[in-house]
Structure formats: structure tokens, C-alpha cells
């Protein structure tokens, strides 16, 4: 239940208690007690625009300082009342400095009471010489209003302003001193414009504006009203609106106009429809919705997620060249904090398929997001929130764009535990293990369709490549290939990281006689590697093959492990490369065939007569009997 606490402050005799009484009784009461006890005002008591459940009004006495300060510390908003020049001067000299010294940072609504005792010239002075300086000099002051308890004038509106100062605060939006919108508000409204500009032409068309109106306020406006808005904008600043629609500059100007005309709840209606909080940050529940991931499950993009990302790519590929250049990427990521840090860490776009100009293709774009979702789904969720993803099932949740796979299961044979086959996954990751210079980097480059280069530089940091792999039968999967660099030993010794690995690719240089020994030593050092599905590959098959100087030779070694012998491939032999990638994915999806040391399933001898034979014999016998019966029946 939302309860707002309004504390009424001011010097003695300014009419605080009379204002409260006139609000509750809806009429002036001449003889009232000095300090009125707290009053609970029910929802929508004074104004149908209020969205609060209830409001508590607390009267105070300036002579009881300890009680006053206690109530101020419990307050959500301060209703500060003055009635003459002396009490007005006390606002800046005493009241606001006192609130600041207490360390409270609350919105203040200043009320000039006893309007019935003032002349028309006094009212003009109050507006020009009293209200404006307060609004400009004190950021705490959100609004100023003139009231009269005796004439019951503006009491309800003053109360509404107190409520609005909490529900729709002005201070995050507008700087009275500079008469301008604040930077965070501008950033938020620019993002709203970006998300509503569905065709990204730089204008909010009539259709887009009406869709924004419906989303934010659940009601529409007619074309005449929309044309009035455009005319008003152009009168404030030329070329802000036209036949194509309202420009980004015009949209900001419109919201500034709302604020300056006292309608900042309209601006908040827009911002909150796009999940902004009072601090003008996007709601954490939108960026990071609660998502329970069972142990041994992985996270992938759902069809909804893939469709959203495909549409996003096509929308920003303005030159229709099939790739996103630097400018297009920058524009695409405009409503976000920028390209994710993890992408930069994986050397994007070098981690995916690019076109000849080096621009990321749709294939590479989807692959990168598949890898991001698999490695850290929270990043994907946050960016879907920034991009404004919505689903028909839940507009506020980005989790509809993700799919959680079934937990990986384990089986046991002859005392050895191994991973069971998986059927619902389409993203797998593979760690490449091998000695420096054996060709791992060239393998990753070839996987992304890049030309072979003789230049060699040792891999220091982890290096990633992700691409789709087409399996037999046409099924598409994404494979993440990860070169471990100098962190190889540390990563392989980390059981938790290995549990996150689907398959290990042990690579050696078939032209280097010392290369295979590195793999033998790694496996001897870390026994847990035998629990991970493994694939061996001999790289640089185009060069002369050398006898490996190792106690254990490749083919006999893999036979002792009961796994397939090494595949001999060359980075620019496409057929052998495709064979390797298929082999890796099959090992990841059906770990039984590639788990080292796992004895093969025994081949069962066919029985003399198996059930299928019995079944076929029985069916044949029935056919013969039926035929003979029909033959005898026809003779009769």
C-alpha cells in the first residue's frame, strides 16, 4: 500500500491548521485547535489524478522544534506555508537552511496563504518577485501556489501538488535555474523517441505518435489534436514538425513545454511506460528479470528472441549491403550503454562472420548473440530491455526471448560416470587445447571463413569464434570455439569451467614431431579431463606428416581411450573443416561416443528367432490361413 506523508511547516500564525481543516471539511472553520492531529486522506479525496492509495497530512508547530524535526525526517514532501513578507523572507533565511542542515532532501511545495487578505498588486508581486526567485534559487522547491482557507481557494490543487511532488517529481526532469530539461531526462526522452521511431527515419509519424499515446496513456487522440500539437511546436521552434511527423528536437521541445506548463505528470506518463524509475534509470526488473536456471542447464535464444534480433539487424542495415558498418552499429546501440564489454573482450566483430569490408553479417550478428546468451544470459536480457523488446505474453519481461534447455543428465557404466545425450540444445561450446604454434588460431579463422595467413603471433588472451554448423539432415547449430591462450592450464584445472564445456578439441601439428606430447602431458596432469567428451585433430595436414616423438602415438592413444582417431585437416580444406565441426557437435550432443575411457556398448548377438521374426511369421501365417479359408469358402 502506497502512503505519502505530507508535513505542513511554517511560522506560527500563517494558517497551516486552517488549510488542513479547509481541505478536509471543504469549508472554512474559524475556531480550530492550535495543532491538528495527523489526518489520513483516502485515495482520490481531492483530485482524480492522484494515483496514491492514501496520504497522511501532518500539522506542526514552529515552537516545538524537536517534534517538527522528527516529523520532517518522516516526511515524503514538505508543504511550506507563508502569509506575509516577513514569513516569506523566513523561507530562504530559516526554513530551507534548517531542512538542509538536517540532511533531508525532500520536495517542497511553497504556499502563499491568506490570499483573501491580499490586494491584486500583492498577488502580482507574489508571482513575479517571490515565487520565481524561490524556484530558481532552491532546487528543493518544486512548485509555488497561492491559497485561501477562508475562500476555499486552491486548497485541493495545493494538496494535489504535494502528492504530485512525490508521484511525479519535477527535480529529475527540469532545472529552473537554467530553464532547461536536465541531461538524464533528455537522454531518456531521446531513447523513447528512438524506440517509437519504428522505421528509424528520424520522425515520429502520425501513426507512430498515436501508438506512443496509446501505449503511455491507454487512449488515443484525433488527428485534429495532433495537428494542433504540431502547430504549437512549430510556433515555438520552426521545422519541429511537418508532413513526415515530429522530429527528435520537436519531441524534446514538446516535453519541455509540458513541464513548463505544469503538466510534468504527462512526461512521467511517457517515461514510466518505458520503465523509467524516479532516478531516470531503467527499472532493474526490466533489465534483469528473475530467471531460474537449473544446474547443468544452458540458456539459448528463443524463436521470439531470434526474430527480434533479425528485425533489428534488417532495420539498421540502411544500405542493404548485408552488413552492419561502424556507423550502423553505433546507431543500433544508441539506446544502450554501447556495445557490451564482453563483445570487446572477445574481439568483436573478429569473433564472427563478416563480409569482405569487415562488417558483421546477419549470420555473424545472430551467432554473436547466441554466444552471449550462452555465456552470460544476463547481458542479453539487459540489452533486450534497452532495445525495447516486448512480447505478446509479457510486455515488461524480456525472458520470453530466451529458452532454458533441460538439465544435462548423467549415466554410469562399469563405474564410470558420463554425460547423457542432449536433444533440445542448439548451442555448444568447445575448448581448443594444444601447443603454441600448432594451428589453433588458423583453425578459428577458417571456421569463420577467413583466408589462411602465414603470419603467426602467440595467443595471449582467450580468443573466441562462433558460427553456425549445418549437421547431416539440415539441422543448424551454433558452435563456440574457444582458444584458451596463456590461461590454458588455469582453465583446464578449474572443474567449474570444465563443467561448462561441452567438448574438448585436442589439436596438434601433424608436421611437428614434438606437438602431440603436449596433449599427452596435459591429460596426464589433469585426470578430470577424461570426463569431458573429447575430439583429437591433426592440423596442417597439407604439410608432410612427421612421426610424433611421444611415448604414446596419436592413433594407438585414441584407441586406448575408446574414441575416434585424430581427424587430419587443413584450414583451407573446406570438406575436412566441415567434417571436423560436425564431429565436434556430434561429440557434444552425444557424449557417449567421445568420452575417454568409456567402454563401448557390447554388441548383442541376435537370437535364433528374434521378436521381429516371430511377428513377421505370425502375420504371414495369418495371411496363409485367411487365403486358404477364402479359397474353401469360394468352392462351396
* pTM for the model: 0.85
* Bridge partner residues of 78 (DSSP): 7, 108
Closest listed residue to residue 566, CA positions, set 539, 538, 546, 547: 538
Q: List pLDDT tens digits, range 585-612.
A: 999 999 999 999 998 776 534 343 343 3
Cβ neighbours of residue 242 closer than 8 Å, sequence gap 6 or more: 203, 230
- How far is 552 from 521, CA to CA, in rounded Å? 10
> Given this model, what pLDDT does residue 455 score?
62
> Given this model, what pLDDT does residue 176 score?
84
Secondary element (H or E) of residue 145: strand 141-146
> Hey, which bits of 147-239 come out as E strands?
174-175, 180-181, 203-204
> Given this model, what pLDDT does residue 116 score?
83
Question: 226, 234 in Cβ contact below 8 A?
Answer: no
> Given this model, what pLDDT does residue 41 score?
87
- How far is 378 from 381, CA to CA, in rounded Å? 5
Instruction: Decide if 300-344+354-404 and 416-593 have a common fold.
Output: no
**pLDDT higher than 80, residue 48:** no
Domain ranges of the chain: 3-167, 180-281, 300-344+354-404, 416-593
- How far is 233 from 203, CA to CA, in rounded Å? 14
Report CA Rg, the chain.
37
CATH topology of domain 3-167: Rossmann fold (3.40.50)
Angle in degrees, 0-180, between the axes of helices 362-375 and 303-316, rounded to the nearest 10: 140
Give mean pLDDT, residues 297-322. Answer: 96
Q: pLDDT band for 630, please (50, 70, 90 cuts).
A: very low
CATH topology of domain 180-281: Recoverin; domain 1 (1.10.238)
Q: Copy the grid coordinates of residue 521.
A: 602431458
Q: pLDDT band for 363, please (50, 70, 90 cuts).
A: very high
Q: Which pairs with CB-CB distance under 8 Å and at least 24 residues apart come from 319-323?
A: 321/355, 321/357, 321/359, 322/355, 322/361, 322/362, 323/354, 323/355, 323/357, 323/359, 323/360, 323/361
CATH of domain 416-593: 3.40.50.300
- How far is 295 from 461, CA to CA, in rounded Å? 28
**pLDDT higher than 60, residue 633:** no
Give mean pLDDT, residues 524-537. Answer: 95
Q: List pLDDT tens digits, range 225-282.
A: 999 999 999 998 998 998 899 999 999 999 999 999 889 999 999 999 999 999 999 9
Specify which of 163-167, 184-188, 434-438, 454-458 reaches the highest per-range mean pLDDT. Answer: 184-188
Q: pLDDT band for 60, please (50, 70, 90 cuts).
A: very high
Question: 162, 79 in Cβ contact below 8 A?
Answer: yes
Cβ neighbours of residue 552 closer than 8 Å, sequence gap 6 or more: 516, 520, 560
CA atoms within a 13 Å half-sphere pointing along the CA-CB vector of 446? 22
CATH of domain 300-344+354-404: 1.10.238.10
- How far is 419 from 590, CA to CA, in rounded Å? 8
Mean pLDDT of the chain: 89
- How far is 498 from 215, CA to CA, in rounded Å? 46
Specify which of 24-38, 122-136, 151-165, 359-373 reaches the highest per-range mean pLDDT. Answer: 359-373
Q: pLDDT band for 183, please (50, 70, 90 cuts).
A: very high
Amino acid at each position: 500500500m502506497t502512503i505519502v506523508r505530507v508535513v505542513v511547516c511554517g511560522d506560527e500564525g500563517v494558517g497551516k491548521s486552517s488549510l488542513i481543516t479547509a481541505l478536509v471539511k471543504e469549508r472554512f472553520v474559524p475556531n480550530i485547535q492550535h495543532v491538528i492531529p495527523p489526518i489520513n486522506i483516502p485515495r482520490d479525496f481531492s483530485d482524480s489524478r492522484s494515483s496514491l492509495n492514501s496520504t497522511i497530512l501532518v500539522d506542526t508547530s514552529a515552537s516545538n522544534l524537536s517534534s517538527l524535526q522528527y516529523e520532517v525526517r518522516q516526511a515524503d514532501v514538505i508543504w511550506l506555508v507563508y502569509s506575509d513578507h516577513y514569513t516569506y523572507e523566513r523561507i530562504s533565511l530559516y526554513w530551507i537552511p534548517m531542512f538542509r542542515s538536517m540532511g533531508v532532501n525532500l520536495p517542497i511545495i511553497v504556499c502563499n496563504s491568506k490570499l483573501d487578505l491580499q490586494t491584486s498588486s500583492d498577488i502580482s508581486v507574489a508571482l513575479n518577485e517571490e515565487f520565481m526567485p524561490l524556484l530558481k534559487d532552491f532546487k528543493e522547491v518544486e512548485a509555488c501556489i497561492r491559497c485561501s482557507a477562508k475562500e476555499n481557494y486552491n486548497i485541493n490543487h495545493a494538496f494535489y501538488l504535494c502528492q504530485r511532488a512525490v508521484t511525479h517529481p519535477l527535480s529529475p526532469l527540469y532545472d529552473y535555474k537554467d530553464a532547461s530539461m536536465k541531461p538524464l531526462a533528455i537522454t531518456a526522452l531521446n531513447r523513447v523517441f528512438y524506440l517509437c521511431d519504428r522505421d528509424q527515419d528520424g520522425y515520429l509519424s502520425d501513426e507512430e505518435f498515436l501508438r506512443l499515446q496509446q501505449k503511455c496513456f491507454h487512449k488515443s487522440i484525433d488527428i485534429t489534436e495532433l495537428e494542433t500539437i504540431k502547430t504549437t511546436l512549430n510556433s515555438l521552434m520552426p521545422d519541429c514538425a511537418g508532413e513526415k511527423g515530429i522530429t527528435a528536437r520537436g519531441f524534446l521541445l514538446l516535453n519541455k513545454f509540458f513541464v513548463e506548463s505544469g503538466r510534468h505528470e504527462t512526461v512521467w506518463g511517457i517515461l514510466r511506460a518505458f520503465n523509467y524509475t524516479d532516478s531516470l534509470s531503467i527499472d532493474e526488473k526490466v533489465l534483469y528479470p528473475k530467471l531460474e536456471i537449473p544446474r547443468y542447464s544452458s540458456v539459448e535464444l528463443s524463436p521470439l528472441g531470434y526474430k527480434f534480433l533479425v528485425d533489428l539487424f534488417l532495420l539498421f542495415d540502411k544500405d542493404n549491403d548485408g552488413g552492419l558498418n561502424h556507423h550502423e552499429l553505433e546507431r543500433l546501440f544508441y539506446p544502450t550503454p554501447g556495445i557490451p564489454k564482453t563483445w570487446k573482450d572477445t574481439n568483436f566483430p573478429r569473433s564472427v562472420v563478416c563480409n569482405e569490408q569487415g562488417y558483421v553479417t546477419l549470420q555473424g550478428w545472430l551467432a554473436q548473440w547466441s554466444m552471449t546468451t550462452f555465456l552470460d544470459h544476463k547481458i542479453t536480457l539487459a540489452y533486450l530491455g534497452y532495445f525495447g523488446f516486448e512480447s505478446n505474453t509479457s510486455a515488461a519481461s524480456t525472458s520470453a526471448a530466451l529458452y532454458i534447455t533441460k538439465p544435462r543428465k548423467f549415466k554410469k557404466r562399469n563405474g564410470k560416470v558420463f554425460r547423457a545425450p542432449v536433444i533440445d540444445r542448439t548451442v555448444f561450446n568447445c575448448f581448443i587445447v594444444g601447443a603454441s604454434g600448432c594451428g589453433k588460431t588458423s583453425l578459428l579463422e577458417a571456421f569463420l571463413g577467413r583466408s589462411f595467413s602465414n603470419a603467426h603471433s602467440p595467443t595471449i588472451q582467450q580468443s573466441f569464434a562462433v558460427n553456425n554448423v549445418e549437421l547431416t539432415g539440415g539441422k543448424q547449430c551454433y558452435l563456440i570455439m574457444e582458444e584458451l591462450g596463456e590461461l590454458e592450464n588455469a582453465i583446464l584445472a578449474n572443474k567449474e569451467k570444465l563443467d561448462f564445456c561441452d567438448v574438448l578439441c585436442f589439436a596438434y601439428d601433424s608436421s611437428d614431431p614434438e606437438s602431440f606430447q603436449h596433449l599427452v602431458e596435459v591429460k596426464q596432469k589433469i585426470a578430470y579431463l577424461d570426463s569431458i567428451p573429447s575430439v583429437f585433430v591433426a592440423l596442417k595436414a597439407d604439410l608432410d606428416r612427421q612421426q610424433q616423438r611421444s611415448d604414446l602415438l596419436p592413433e594407438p592413444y585414441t584407441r586406448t581411450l575408446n574414441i575416434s582417431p585424430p581427424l587430419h585437416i587443413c584450414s583451407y580444406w573446406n570438406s575436412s573443416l566441415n567434417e571436423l565441426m560436425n564431429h565436434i557437435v556430434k561429440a557434444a550432443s552425444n557424449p557417449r561416443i567421445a568420452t575417454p575411457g568409456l567402454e563401448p556398448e557390447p554388441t548383442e548377438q541376435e537370437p535364433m528367432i528374434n521378436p521381429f521374426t516371430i511377428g513377421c511369421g505370425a502375420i504371414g501365417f495369418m495371411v496363409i490361413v485367411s487365403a486358404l479359408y477364402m479359397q474353401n469358402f469360394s468352392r462351396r
